[in-house]
Amino acid sequence: MKDSGVSTPTLGGNAAPSSSSLAPAFTTTPPKFPLFKRLGSIRPHRRPATSGPSGDFARFNPSPVPVPSDYPAPTSAPVSATAASAPGQAARAAAAAANNERLHKLQRQEETTAYLDVLQSQRAMDDVLKDSESGVGMNCASPVVKAEDEADTRFDPVQYLPSEITTLILSNLDAQSLARAGAVSRAWQEAANSPYVWKHVFLRRFKPDVHVSPTPIAMGGAGIGKSSKGKPAPGQDWKKMYKVRMTINRRWKACSPNAIYLNGHTDSVYCCQFDETKCITGSRDRTIRVWDMNTYTCLKVIGGPSHRPVPPTHPELETHKETVISHPSLNGTPKGNAIYYIPQDYHEQSILCLQYDATTMVTGSSDHTCIVWDITSPTHDFVPIARLEGHTAGVLDVALDAKHIISCSKDATIIIWDRATFRPLRTLTGHRGPVNAVQLRGNLLVSASGDGVAKLWNLDSGVCVKEFPSQDRGLAAVEFSDDAKYVLAGGNDHVVYKFDASSGKLLHTSAKHGGLVRSLFLDANNGRVVSGSYDQSIRIADFSTGEVMGVYENWTTSWILSAKSDYRRVVATSQDGRAVILDFGWGVVGKDCLVGNQGEEEEDRNGWVMV
């Protein structure tokens, strides 16, 4: 029997009780149970009549017991001289005392049994009530009537607890559980719809994590709304933002983006990077273009005096059936001439690579050099501030963070530059072929080469600490996860490799592309890997498993040379001279509420705290 918290009753001792009271000898008073009020016929404290046992106890002694004449006198009470001299008086007194003692014992046992029966009945009734409340099939001939003065100990925590505690509790739920909680009552619905609750739910699900320092450069937008002094801006509709993000995610899963084409370059577009307000591309036509990510028009063309583009002479290129915007080229028009900008320094050959942050852009070229640009001008008149010279062949890729600029080259070397002074700090050698791609995470650098090996370097020592060989032929692209735990690489094998960065173990390879994997991008926060190939396809795969989630073939008319993504878009460049945007948020109501405030968000998006 489950412990009810009631003390076990103690039976009386050997001493005869006083004739004035026959109350049961319990050590503690039993608690009040509602059943006692319903079972009024049970009276464990009945007092026997002075003439002898009666009522329930009469059956134990239906008639007085005759006392033998020779029964010894009781020792518990003095006997007067008169009583002692009477014949047989002592024996009768002793017999009467013994009889009373026996009756008292029987009475105490009966009362104890009655009390335990009542206690057991109460527990059984409690079980019946619990089963009835839980919906278990119970059939009662008559309803259980609750005593009017019995207190109801159940209460609604949302109505009783302070709102701060309710908010803290509900903010630990996921969105689905929070929706179910809101269906309980109006009070619960009001608490579950609190913007403070949904802010925690939204940011826990979608806020990018920071794993290394300096913080890596983020691609595109974070999709987490506006910030204010490093914290989420007040007054945002977090529940609406959550719904919009989930709608965009469903479009990713359904493989249903819309196409937007950026027309203007006159030759292969080798590289790109974008944020929520602009996209910057570099081309074999020796120009850099800045595009507006809201209107999708060209804002600025940067190049030398002999690089000015001419009006297109070829027919308009084919577009995908899902196209929503494809503005014609401005080349050769008055507006096109107005946006052409000739800086003090510029590349004389193909722009092969670029990367930028909030203030600085670095471009690499077939002219063997890099140019560092100040890009803070609101009119996008970028100012060259340094030219980095040190390679003996074309610069194939660049990377930068708050401390370093990294360049790699067809000459099989990697140069680490000091970002503050633009002086070379160290040259990394060890690859036996062109170093096609690099990526930086803290003091670690990963590189991929045409020699078929990806290498992991320690920037402080300049030592290669791990190698990741392909199964066959060279590597053209590499990605380093934000937490520096995984390395992705792709190339002539037509597959994407995933390696464990600490052990060097190959974890899995993706399904094969139909050609060289020319570009890789890892969006670890959203669990997506974007690869671009010479088979003219863009492929989206699950980061954890490598399973292909979407393939977009022939959205351009030639090889995919670069492909990058954020929470709602893929921006890809092609050999056909165009950039194409696969927009999974096109037409989604409320998508603008996810846009951050450019500039401050660049610096603060990874420093947000949930308050």
With beta carbons less than 8 A apart as the criterion, state whether 438 and 446 touch.
Answer: yes
* Residue 505 to residue 477: CA distance in whole angstroms: 18
Structure tokens at 559: 């090889």
Residue 506 backbone dihedrals phi, psi, to 5 degrees: -80, 120
pTM (2 d.p.): 0.74
Q: Is 148 exposed, middle or buried (0-12, 13-18, 19+ CB in 10 A)?
A: exposed
Alpha-carbon span 568 to 119, nearest angstrom: 66
Instruction: For residue range 30-44, list pLDDT tens digits in order.
Output: 444 443 344 344 444
pLDDT in tens, 213-222: 888 999 999 9
Q: Quickly count: other Cβ atoms within 10 Å of residue 432's Cβ.
A: 11
CA pair distance 590, 583, nearest whole angstrom: 15
- Higher-confidence residue of 90 and 489: namely 489
**Cβ atoms 500, 507 nearer than 8 A:** yes
For the purposes of burial, counting CB atoms within 10 Å of the CB of 321, is it exposed (0-12), middle (13-18) or buried (19 or more)? exposed
Which pLDDT tens digit goes with each residue over 61-70?
444 444 444 4
Angle at 493 between CA 492 and CA 497, to 5 degrees: 115
User: Would you tell me the crossing angle of helices 238-254 and 195-206 to the nearest 10 degrees?
Assistant: 30
**Smallest Cα–Cα separation from 312: which of 270, 262, 263, 351?**
263
CA 389 – CA 368 distance, rounded (Å): 7
The pLDDT value recorded for residue 230 is 76
Using CA atoms, how far apart are residues 59 and 54, in angstroms rounded to an integer? 8
Q: In the predicted model, is pLDDT for residue 20 greater than 60?
A: no
Task: List the beta strands (DSSP E) in 275-394.
Answer: 278-283, 288-292, 298-302, 323-326, 340-341, 351-356, 360-365, 369-374, 383-389
H-helix or E-strand spanning residue 203? helix 195-206
Residue 393 has pLDDT above 80, yes or no: yes
**Separation in Å, CA 89 to CA 51, 96, 384:** 19, 11, 132
β-strand partners of 475: 491
pLDDT at site 111? 61
Which CATH number does the domain 158-248 belong to among 1.20.1280.50, 1.10.1060.10, 2.30.29.30, 3.30.450.40?
1.20.1280.50
pLDDT in tens, 257-304: 999 999 999 999 999 999 999 999 999 999 999 999 999 999 999 999
Indicate if the pLDDT at residue 132 is higher than 50: no
Strands 351-356 and 475-480: unpaired
Span between the terminal Cα atoms of the chain, in Å: 49
Q: State the architecture of 257-595 in CATH terms.
A: 7 Propeller (2.130)
**What are the residues facing 427 on neighbouring strands?**
415
What is the mean predicted confidence (pLDDT) over 379-388?
97
The band of 424, judged by pLDDT with boundaries at 50, 70 and 90, is very high
Q: For residue 271, how many C-alpha atoms fall within 13 Å in the half-sphere facing its CB?
A: 26
